[in-house]
Chain A
Amino acid sequence: MFHLIRLKIRDFRGFADTQELNFDQPVVLLCGENHRGKSSTLNAVEWCLFGGNCVGKKTGIRERIGWEIPNRYVSGEGVLVEVEFKGPEGNYVVIRELSGTGRRALEKIMVKLPDGVVLHGDDAERQIYTLFHSSFQDFMTTVYQHQEAIRAILTQEPRDRNDAIDRLLGLSEYRELVRGITEAKIGNIYKAMKSEFESFRQRAEQSIRIYDKEAREKKEKAIAEGMGEEDITEKEALHRAKDIGEAVISLAQELGISDLQITMPQSFGEVAQFRDEVKDKIDAVWLYSPDMVKQTTLERKQRELVSLVGRYQDVKKTEAKAQTERDKFVQQHGDETTLVEAAEAQQKEITRVEEEIHKSNARASLVREAVQYLKEVASDIERKRCPLCGAKAPQLLNQLESEWEEKIEVGVRALEAQRKEQKAKLKQLKSFKDQLEELEEPLAAARSSFKECITKVAVALQRKIGKHDDPLALLNTQLQNIASELESGQKAIEKKGEKRIAIFDQLAKLRTIDEILSLERKREIVERILSTKEYKELDKLRDQASQFMEDVQAIKGSLAAASREEAEAKINAAGTSLDKYFCRIANHPTIRGLVMEVTENSQTGLNSYNIKSKDGLDPTPILSQGDLNCLALSLFFGLAETAEETQPFAFLMLDDPSQSLGPEMEQRFVSVLEDIAERRQLIISTPYVGFKNLLMANITKNKDVYDFLDWTEKNGPQITRNA
């Protein structure tokens, strides 16, 4: 058995400068408020023995995820933990160091043996295992009672409690593996793969259904149209193609084309091309045969003459209309010569009137000037005599003024009215002349079109059109001749046309067969997917994936079963102790003993723990936090007691074991510890002064007390020893 006798810590978690603690008494108490470094002291022993194995998710301890080993507040010489054990053959010193952080962290391990031999690295690790043959899980369940384990078991959440009990039993690794497999959800990946495959299968199936439906419908239609089911084969299609080819050649000969060449299809694959070729050739043969050429020419001539008839009628009508309008105008207003002469006569009259106006105006001007003179310049005497004859005329001025003005004004006004009237007449005559010119223009254009049309008719009829010829009658006669020729030509080719239509019918049937068989072939291609290498490979992969799923499930099942078996074994082994310790510490008024059972959670495959009282009832609804604390402690002590014979450590480390115990429970717990102290060295950490005092007063073995007084970033915990 190995006793813990000395611990040296530097830069480990909350520790800074090197501190050394001696564990040379049967009971060592680590006392002090929270965050003073008590738990780190116990953790240091664990880390020194198990290094990275006690860090991270795999430990099953939530607090250990992202757990920092080096003190984050100091940059000292690096982490060092040195633990000295006293064994049967002398003292063993284990030293674990860590320098650097993150990826550059470098861990060193060293073991000094009693004979002075020093081992390093893997040799040291092997030596540790050889000496203590304990895993971290063993240590955690039978030597070091973590305060987190009690805290977790205090939860009322069944899943968390199952986690905690697994942890107490050292089965966290199984649990993590089973949970990891479950959470990997490979079943979903497999389902997705299956779904993809199914979707592909459905697409192929859909294609086949579509091809089938189309082929069936076409076949039904073909049969309804007189085709036999036996005709819808590749062989029959080839026969039919050959017959069509021969029929086309025969028709060509009848139409006067003797050198037509047709490539007969040799396989069904060539039928589609053959159909296109025959269709083109039959069209060409038909179009360029002499009969058809003649018919086409006559038809073209017919269209040309019909068009000319229409044109001739149009231009003739236009010309007649223009002529009528022009003639009617001339009749009303005279022709151009008449209008010009009338205008000239009118102009002369206007000139004459204007001259007369001019004369009248000159005379009037003279009278006006005389009146002006008499009014403004002449003396009174002169004003009363006539300036021309000198006769006395006392009212001369007034008389002249009124008499002359009346006479001249009337005359000029009459002349001006005359002139105005004549100018209006002249303007109208000019307007008539303009209108006449406007009517002459369309008449000339109509006459020109008519002449042009006559020329076209002459060209079309290939004869001269004389003055006395009626072009319309000539055109109609020619059209009658063409119609007669077309009719006789049509009768001649009608018989050949029937043959052509029969060939087209055969071609349509051939196309139907081709389409049906092509659809069936497409369906076969899709169907052949099944026998492709890729499909078979995919099918094989599905089998392998299924095998993988089964294997994973089997592994998961095995892990769960192993975990359950181990849990059962441990519970069975520790059962009596568990019951004994629970009854002693809890002293529950109604629960007179506990039985723990483990079953498999059917959904997760994980261990599920049922705690029953000895009367078979479920005690959990009436268990207090203190009772659950008792349960956790009892389980730990039970396991520790069971392992006593096999595990080599002579000490137990209890981290805050009384966290939810009431005073009476504490008292009973101390009594249990007093018994255990008979067999094992006890290292107990507690923040409770009352519990410390209880231990001091009731544990009869020698005790050492380390008080954790303070903690600073720079110096770490301030520890004093009170023996």
Chain B
Amino acid sequence: MKVNTFQHLQQIRDKFGPGIFGKIAQKLLALAFREAGFSHIVERGVQGVDIDAANILGKKYALEVKTTDGENIPISRENIEALKDRTKDGYLPVIAALRVQMFEDWIFASIPLGGLKPVSLPLSRLRAYRLQDLETSICPTFEAVVNQHFSNVLAGGEHYLSQVLAQRRSERH
């Protein structure tokens, strides 16, 4: 991620705090998937996986979104169950993790759920299961989305992004 994007994210986090920032990052990521051509996007604030993303090529991802300052992300039993649940509908379970640091990008990892336990999961473990193609496609789009909506997000926060997502949904219909 470019420094400007990182600085924008940092400003958003500084303004809204880590909790709300996580939700904002999730919505920004959902928008990035939308911009990257994933026509079917379901972004959930509560219950279930955070994002369902599917495109016309048949790629279907169920994303559990995590942001952190440190080197670990918390994975709960609910997270694992939610991801497992989406596999029934043919979604590939993916942990999307962003370390909010300069030079860091989203990691999309399709970690085997069988061996996954509720734990504080080191980001370094996710590296072994990275979906490089998905990262190559989504990370630049995410940057563009952040830079495009930065001022409005800073002003309107999560609510603004919900509106944008709703608008994008209606555009599709």
Of A95-103, A292-300, A409-417, A540-548, which stretch is located at the interface? A540-548
Q: Which residue of B lies closest to A549 (CB)?
A: B128
Q: Given A208-B3, A527-B2, A527-B3, verify A547-B103 contact (CB < 8 Å).
A: no
Decide if B103 touches A546 in the complex (CB within 8 Å): no
Q: Give the docked Cα–Cα distance between A280 and B115 (Å).
A: 72
Does A194 reach chain B (CB closer than 8 Å)? yes
> What residues of chain A lie closer than 8 Å to B102, measured between beta carbons?
201, 204-205, 208
Partner of A550, one of B101, B103, B128: B128
Decide if B101 touches A201 in the complex (CB within 8 Å): yes
> What residues of chain A lie closer than 8 Å to B126, measured between beta carbons?
546
Does A523 reach chain B (CB closer than 8 Å)? yes
Q: Give the docked Cα–Cα distance between A542 and B126 (Å).
A: 11
Decide if A523 touches B3 in the complex (CB within 8 Å): yes
Partner of A530, one of B103, B128, B129: B103
Q: Give the docked Cα–Cα distance between A554 and B114 (Å).
A: 12
Q: Which residue of A lies closest to B129 (CB)?
A: A550
Decide if A543 touches B3 in the complex (CB within 8 Å): no
**Please, what's the 1-or-0 string for B110-133, where 1 marks a CB less than 8 Å from any CB in chain A?**
000001000000001111111000
Chain B proximity of A202: nearest CB distance (Å): 9
Q: Which residue of B lies closest to A194 (CB)?
A: B124
> What residues of chain A lie closer than 8 Å to B2, measured between beta carbons?
527, 530
Decide if A542 touches B127 in the complex (CB within 8 Å): yes
Q: Which residue of A lies closest to B124 (CB)?
A: A546
Question: In B85-103, which residues have CB < 8 Å from any A CB?
Answer: 101-103
Does A47 reach chain B (CB closer than 8 Å)? no
Q: Given A201-B101, A205-B101, verify A546-B127 contact (CB < 8 Å).
A: yes
> What residues of chain A lie closer than 8 Å to B103, measured between beta carbons?
201, 204-205, 529-530
Q: Give the docked Cα–Cα distance between A208 and B2 (Å).
A: 11
> What residues of chain B lie closer than 8 Å to A201, measured between beta carbons?
101-103
Question: In A89-132, which residues have CB < 8 Å from any B CB?
Answer: none
Q: Which of A194, A208, A546, A557 has the most CB of B within 10 A?
A: A546
Does A268 reach chain B (CB closer than 8 Å)? no
Q: Which residue of A lies closest to B2 (CB)?
A: A527
Q: Give the docked Cα–Cα distance between A201 and B130 (Å).
A: 20
Does A190 reach chain B (CB closer than 8 Å)? yes
Decide if A190 touches B128 in the complex (CB within 8 Å): no
Decide if A546 touches B125 in the complex (CB within 8 Å): yes
Chain B proximity of A517: nearest CB distance (Å): 16
Chain A proximity of B127: nearest CB distance (Å): 4
> What residues of chain B lie closer than 8 Å to A557, measured between beta carbons?
115
> What residues of chain A lie closer than 8 Å to B101, measured between beta carbons?
201, 205
Q: Give the docked Cα–Cα distance between A652 and B80 (Å).
A: 52
**Please, what's the 1-or-0 string for A538-564, where 1 marks a CB less than 8 Å from any CB in chain B?**
000011011101100010010000000
Q: Which residue of A lies closest to B107 (CB)?
A: A543
Chain A proximity of B7: nearest CB distance (Å): 8
> What residues of chain A lie closer than 8 Å to B128, measured between beta carbons?
543, 546-547, 549-550
**Please, what's the 1-or-0 string for A194-229, where 1 marks a CB less than 8 Å from any CB in chain B?**
100000010011001000100000000000000000
Question: In B66-95, which residues have CB < 8 Å from any A CB?
Answer: none
> What residues of chain A lie closer than 8 Å to B124, measured between beta carbons?
190, 194, 542, 546, 549
Q: Give the docked Cα–Cα distance between A580 and B72 (Å).
A: 51
Q: Give the docked Cα–Cα distance between A527 and B130 (Å).
A: 23
Q: Give the docked Cα–Cα distance between A208 and B127 (Å).
A: 26
Q: Which of A190, A530, A547 has the most CB of B within 10 A?
A: A530
Partner of B127, one of A212, A527, A543: A543
> What residues of chain B lie closer than 8 Å to A550, measured between beta carbons?
125, 128-129
Q: Count A interface residues, CB 8 Å.
A: 20
Decide if A543 touches B125 in the complex (CB within 8 Å): no
**Please, what's the 1-or-0 string for A493-527, where 1 marks a CB less than 8 Å from any CB in chain B?**
00000000000000000000000000000010001
Q: Which residue of A lies closest to B132 (CB)?
A: A543
Q: Give the docked Cα–Cα distance between A543 and B126 (Å).
A: 9
Chain B proximity of A522: nearest CB distance (Å): 12
Decide if B127 touches A547 in the complex (CB within 8 Å): yes
Chain B proximity of A538: nearest CB distance (Å): 11
Q: Which of A212, A549, A557 has the most CB of B within 10 A?
A: A549
Q: Give the docked Cα–Cα distance between A208 and B124 (Å).
A: 25
**Please, what's the 1-or-0 string for A178-199, where 1 marks a CB less than 8 Å from any CB in chain B?**
0000000000001000100000
> What residues of chain B lie closer than 8 Å to A543, measured between beta carbons?
127-128, 130
**Please, what's the 1-or-0 string for A134-161, where 1 marks a CB less than 8 Å from any CB in chain B?**
0000000000000000000000000000
> What residues of chain B lie closer than 8 Å to A204, measured between beta carbons?
102-103
Q: Give the docked Cα–Cα distance between A547 and B127 (Å).
A: 7
> What residues of chain A lie closer than 8 Å to B125, measured between beta carbons?
546, 549-550
Chain B proximity of A103: nearest CB distance (Å): 42
**Please, what's the 1-or-0 string for A413-428, where 1 marks a CB less than 8 Å from any CB in chain B?**
0000000000000000
Q: Which of A543, A547, A557 has the most CB of B within 10 A?
A: A543
Q: Give the docked Cα–Cα distance between A554 and B101 (Å).
A: 30
Q: Give the docked Cα–Cα distance between A565 and B61 (Å).
A: 36
Q: Give the docked Cα–Cα distance between A527 and B6 (Å).
A: 11
Q: Give the docked Cα–Cα distance between A201 and B6 (Å).
A: 14
> What residues of chain A lie closer than 8 Å to B130, measured between beta carbons?
543
Q: Give the docked Cα–Cα distance between A662 and B69 (Å).
A: 64
**Please, what's the 1-or-0 string for A358-400, where 1 marks a CB less than 8 Å from any CB in chain B?**
0000000000000000000000000000000000000000000
Q: Give the docked Cα–Cα distance between A546 and B129 (Å).
A: 9
Q: Give the docked Cα–Cα distance between A543 and B105 (Å).
A: 14
Q: Give the docked Cα–Cα distance between A190 and B122 (Å).
A: 12
Q: Give the docked Cα–Cα distance between A201 and B104 (Å).
A: 9
Question: In B109-163, which residues have CB < 8 Å from any A CB?
Answer: 115, 124-130
Q: Give the docked Cα–Cα distance between A543 and B127 (Å).
A: 5
Q: Give the docked Cα–Cα distance between A549 and B129 (Å).
A: 12
Q: Give the docked Cα–Cα distance between A194 and B127 (Å).
A: 12
Q: Give the docked Cα–Cα distance between A190 and B127 (Å).
A: 12
Q: Give the docked Cα–Cα distance between A530 and B126 (Å).
A: 20
Q: Give the docked Cα–Cα distance between A546 and B111 (Å).
A: 12
Q: Give the docked Cα–Cα distance between A543 and B2 (Å).
A: 21
Chain B proximity of A219: nearest CB distance (Å): 15
Q: Give the docked Cα–Cα distance between A523 and B3 (Å).
A: 9
Chain A proximity of B8: nearest CB distance (Å): 13
Q: Which residue of B lies closest to A206 (CB)?
A: B102
Chain A proximity of B6: nearest CB distance (Å): 9
Q: Give the docked Cα–Cα distance between A554 and B129 (Å).
A: 14
> What residues of chain A lie closer than 8 Å to B127, measured between beta carbons?
542-543, 545-547
Chain B proximity of A600: nearest CB distance (Å): 13
> What residues of chain B lie closer than 8 Å to A530, measured between beta carbons?
2, 103
Q: Give the docked Cα–Cα distance between A190 and B129 (Å).
A: 16
Q: Which of B101, B103, B125, B130 has the most CB of A within 10 A?
A: B103
Q: Give the docked Cα–Cα distance between A546 and B102 (Å).
A: 21
Q: Give the docked Cα–Cα distance between A541 and B101 (Å).
A: 20
Chain B proximity of A215: nearest CB distance (Å): 12
Q: Give the docked Cα–Cα distance between A523 and B102 (Å).
A: 13
Q: Which residue of B lies closest to A535 (CB)?
A: B103
Chain B proximity of A261: nearest CB distance (Å): 42
Q: Which residue of A lies closest to B1 (CB)?
A: A530
> What residues of chain B lie closer than 8 Å to A212, measured between beta carbons?
3
Q: Give the docked Cα–Cα distance between A557 and B2 (Å).
A: 39
Q: Give the docked Cα–Cα distance between A530 and B2 (Å).
A: 8
> What residues of chain A lie closer than 8 Å to B3, measured between beta carbons?
208, 212, 523, 527
**Please, what's the 1-or-0 string for B2-36, where 1 marks a CB less than 8 Å from any CB in chain A?**
11000000000000000000000000000000000
> What residues of chain B lie closer than 8 Å to A208, measured between beta carbons?
3, 102
Q: Which residue of B lies closest to A205 (CB)?
A: B102
Q: Give the docked Cα–Cα distance between A529 and B1 (Å).
A: 11
In the complex, the 4 A-B pairs of residues with the closest C-beta atoms, listed nearest first = A546-B127, A550-B128, A547-B128, A546-B128
16 contacts between A and B (CB under 8 A): A201-B101, A201-B103, A205-B101, A205-B102, A208-B3, A527-B2, A530-B2, A542-B124, A542-B127, A543-B127, A543-B128, A546-B125, A546-B126, A546-B127, A547-B128, A549-B124
Q: A542-B124, A557-B115 are in contact. List 13 more A-B contacts (CB 8 A).
A: A190-B124, A194-B124, A201-B101, A201-B102, A201-B103, A205-B102, A523-B3, A530-B2, A530-B103, A546-B126, A549-B124, A549-B128, A554-B115
